[in-house]
Amino acid sequence: MKITDTSDLWWKNAVVYCLDVETYLDWNGDGVGDFVGLANRIDYLAELGVTCLWLMPFYPTPDRDDGYDILDFYGVDPRLGHFGDLVEVIRIARDRGIRVIADLVINHTSDRHPWFRAARSSRDSPYRDYYVWRDEPLDDGEPVFPDQESSNWELDEKTGQYYQHVFYKHQPDLNITNPLVRDEIAKIMGFWLQLGLSGFRVDAVPFLLDESGVVGGSELLPDPHAYLRSLRSFLGRRSGDGVLLGEVNLERAEQEQFFGGAEGDELTMQFDFISMQNLYLSLARQDAGPLVEALLSRPVGSPDSQWANFVRNHDELTLDKLSDAEREEVFAAFGPEERMQVYGRGLVRRLPPMLDGDPRRIRLVYSLLFSMPGTPVLFYGEEIGMGENLDAEGRMAVRTPMQWTSGPNGGFSTARPSRLRNALVSGGYGPEHVNVETQRRDPDSLYSFIRMLVQHYRNAPELGWGEFTVLEGTPSSVLAHTLSWDGRTVLLVHNFSATPVDVPLALDRELAGCRVNRLLGAEAGRQPFADPLSLDDAGRTTVPLEGYGFEWLRVIAPGDELQY
Ligand code: NOJ
């Protein structure tokens, strides 16, 4: 095995876990999660098998966009602790083999950031050009948050010009055509790398690079992708293991560009928004087709680049890349009520309630998350099957406190419930029914299942590194694929339908004479086959699947003793 590659390009088979310190564990009982609480849960993350922790924004903030509105890029919000606490978290995580990355939010600042306060004090301020100003607003499309904003431009009364804000009006956009802003961004990145971060989840990358709002923008910065390349090379100079994991919810051709094509010199990783959306369409239709098509449409880039797979993140579950009719199908299946939908394009629910708590389907989805080509990203609480709080405002529905125990506040905090900023989930998905303490002791729990998937994912580097092939000739409800790397192959088979099915599998002819055995074992309620299946002269076999069933199988060459 190419040991050197797998450790240097660690992101190719990482297990990423995203959390917000504020909602993870409150150690000092003030109702707000903190870094000391997180430090005390690093061993929990290590036990789960996490290898990369993604911290959502923890910087000083007025908190009008859950921390994505930053007041000071060089600080820690005092509600969460101080620098010493953060450094302990990074150190303890490292010690347990977990790298830490954090959100890099450089498309905009809070309107209370000192740069913007200075910028709006006068047209002559040295900070004026840190932001994007126009005498007249552009008519440049639908705002990202149409429930609160009607334009991407806001008049600044005092100076009589409009500033650009593609998100909320309290988040003025930074102007990256200004070399001073680019210097500031480099300094911010350098600062956090020096403190021990292993890179960043880069917020809103396409918006960051879009300088069409800047007067003369295309002359000032003719090639915004060259700027992204320069950020990547700066990162590489400062940190040998740093990654840029970018949020790029665009069509495939544009995503290819954000990787830097075959050169792979822009983003290291990108979230696969398109496969995520089509996964839900496949689930709604009980038909693997949409997901298969989405996976096959991934551009082939540099072998060092990587897709990040996810089922849920902290935002709305966006369905914006589906057609209107497809989106309606997903809404009808998984979020028929208006309060479950947001911005006309997404859902505010978590997976288990959308699947009516059906353990077969929930496990099918997580089996896919860990066996589709790429790197899996978990959003905190997914490992125990947390639900959402539909009484919370919009996207806050899925940002409820982590459920550690069945006790008061789900073990998140000892504060009075009225002091918690985000209320806990109640009802069937509340902490009495869904919590870490109970599930850790139960070998049949979702937690134990996901932990087992993590172990197998880490033991089978083909899943992160392998060449992807979809097997043809299977029933439409089934996704059967192989991932091959370094001379070895794993075979993954998933049935989206409730109906059991015998799946004919036609592997590469070159594999004729090999045997096939189960990778997932007793932990998934099954045993290795007493007699491994044999591939016939044409490389074929048949695998039976239950309704919503799945198998992870390893192809064993004659004489290959290693069967896992
Ligand atoms: C994308 C983040 O994921 C989202 O939560 C935030 O509101 C916007 N960027 C603005 O920063």
pLDDT tens track for 49-70: 999 999 999 999 999 999 999 9
Mean pLDDT, rounded, for 223-232: 98
Look up residue 104 and give its amino acid.
Answer: L
Name residue, tokens 């600044």. 156
Contacts of 538 (CB under 8 A, 6+ apart): 506, 509, 512
Q: What are phi and psi of 234, to 5 degrees?
A: -60, -45
pLDDT on residue 542: 96
Residue 2: pLDDT band by 50, 70, 90 thresholds? low
> Average pLDDT, stretch 522-532?
70
| Beta strands 540-545; 533-534: pairing state | unpaired
Question: What token pair was written down for 74?
Answer: 């060089």
Q: What is the mean pLDDT of residues 253-268?
A: 97
Q: What is the mean pLDDT of residues 246-264?
A: 97
Residues 6+ apart with CB under 8 A from 458: 13, 15, 49, 51
Which residue's C-alpha comes closest to atom 2 of ligand 1?
Answer: 203
Confidence band, pLDDT 50/70/90 cuts, at residue 255: very high
Question: What pLDDT shows up at residue 353?
Answer: 98
Count the alpha carbons within 13 Å of 186 in the hemisphere toward its beta carbon. 18
Which percentage of the chain shows pLDDT scores above 90? 95
Q: What's the Cα-to-Cα distance from 531 to each of 534, 544, 546, 551, 555, rounded to whole Å?
A: 9, 15, 20, 16, 13
At 3 the pLDDT is 67
Q: Is 204 in the pocket of ligand 1 (CB under 6 A)?
A: yes
Taking residues 371-379, report their average pLDDT. Answer: 98
Average the pLDDT over 538-552 and give the result.
96
- List domains and CATH numbers for the chain: 114-164 (3.90.400.10), 466-556 (2.60.40.1180)
**What spacing in Å lies between the alpha carbon of 313 and ligand 1's midpoint?**
11
For the CA of 145, the closest atom of ligand 1 is 7
The closest of 286, 287, 275 to 369, measured between CA atoms, is 275
Position 181, amino acid: V
**Ligand 1 neighbourhood includes 65 CB (under 6 angstroms):** yes
Q: How many CB atoms lie within 10 A of CB 389?
A: 23
Model confidence, pTM: 0.98
How far apart CA 50 and CA 98 sit, in angstroms, is 7
CA distance 48 to 447: 8
| Residue 480 CB–ligand 1 contact under 6 Å | no
Q: Of 315, 343, 379, which is best to mutate to test ligand 1, by the most ligand atoms within 8 angstroms of its C-beta?
A: 315
pLDDT of 25: 98
Residue 315 Cα to ligand 1 middle (Å): 7
Q: Kindly give the distance from the C-alpha atom of residue 68 to the centroid of ligand 1, in angstroms, as a whole number.
A: 6
Is 545 in a helix, a strand, or coil? strand
143 Cα: distance to centroid of ligand 1 (angstroms): 13
What ligand 1 atom has the least distance to the C-alpha of 107?
11
The answer on pLDDT for 302 being more than 60 is: yes
- Residues annotated catalytic, as ranges: 203, 247
**Cα dihedral angle (394, 398, 399, 403), rounded to 10 degrees?**
150
Bin 27: left if φ > 0, else alpha if -120 < ψ < 50, else beta. alpha
pLDDT of residue 532: 87
Contact status, residue 519 vs residue 554, Cβ threshold 8 Å? yes
104 lines ligand 1 (CB under 6 A): no
Are the beta carbons of 28 and 38 closer than 8 angstroms?
A: no
- Which atom of ligand 1 lies nearest, measured to the CA of 315? 5
Q: DSSP assignment, residue 42? A: H
373 in Cβ contact with 484 (< 8 Å): no
Angle at 123 between CA 119 and CA 126, to 5 degrees: 55
| Distance from C-alpha of 284 to C-alpha of 496, rounded to nearest angstrom | 9
CB 400 within 8 A of CB 352: no
What separation in Å is there between the alpha carbon of 207 and the centre of ligand 1?
11
Residue 155: pLDDT band with limits 50, 70, 90: very high
Q: Which atom of ligand 1 is nearest to the CA of 168?
A: 10
Mean pLDDT over residues 485-497, rounded?
96
pLDDT at 521: 67
User: How wide is the angle at C-alpha 84 spanned by C-alphas 79 and 89, nearest 5°?
Assistant: 85
Say if residue 502's pLDDT is above 60. Answer: yes
Dihedral of CA 20/24/30/35: which sign?
A: negative
What is the number of other CB atoms lying within 10 angstroms of the CB of residue 97?
Answer: 11
Q: Which two tokens stand for residue 245?
A: 């994991």
Our mutation pick for probing the ligand 1 site, out of 104, 105, 110, 399, counting the most ligand atoms within 8 A of Cβ, is: 105
Report which of 206, 295, 208, 204 is spatially closest to residue 483, judged by C-alpha positions: 295
What is the pLDDT, as a whole number, of residue 559?
Answer: 81
Instruction: Determine the pLDDT at residue 6.
Output: 79
What mean pLDDT comes out for the span 323-344? 98
Say what the pLDDT of residue 1 is: 53
Q: 203 alpha carbon to ligand 1 midpoint, in Å?
A: 7
In sign, the C-alpha dihedral spanning 257, 261, 266, 270 is positive
Contact between 92 and 39 under an 8 Å Cβ cutoff? The reply is: yes
Q: Is the pLDDT of residue 320 over 90?
A: yes
- Identify the pLDDT of residue 523: 56
* Local structure of 276: helix, strand or coil: helix
Mean pLDDT over residues 222-247, rounded? 97
Q: How many angstroms separate the Cα of 360 from the Cα of each of 9, 355, 525? A: 34, 9, 12
For ligand 1, say whether the CB of 315 is within 6 Å of any of its atoms. yes
Mean pLDDT of the chain: 96
**Secondary structure E strands in 49-120:** 52-55, 99-104
Tokens coding 441: 């002791």
Q: Is the CB of 68 under 6 A from ligand 1?
A: yes
- How far apart (Å, rounded) are the C-alpha atoms in residues 505 and 472? 8
pLDDT surpassing 70 at residue 12: yes
For the cut 90, the answer to whether the pLDDT of residue 417 exceeds it is: yes
Report how far Cα 464 is from the mean position of its chain's Cα atoms.
Answer: 15
CA dihedral 367, 40, 422, 30 (to 10 degrees): 170
Q: Which residue has the higher pLDDT, 301 or 246?
A: 246
Contacts of 63 by beta carbon, 8 Å cutoff, 6+ apart:
69
Atom of ligand 1 nearest to the CA of 108: 11
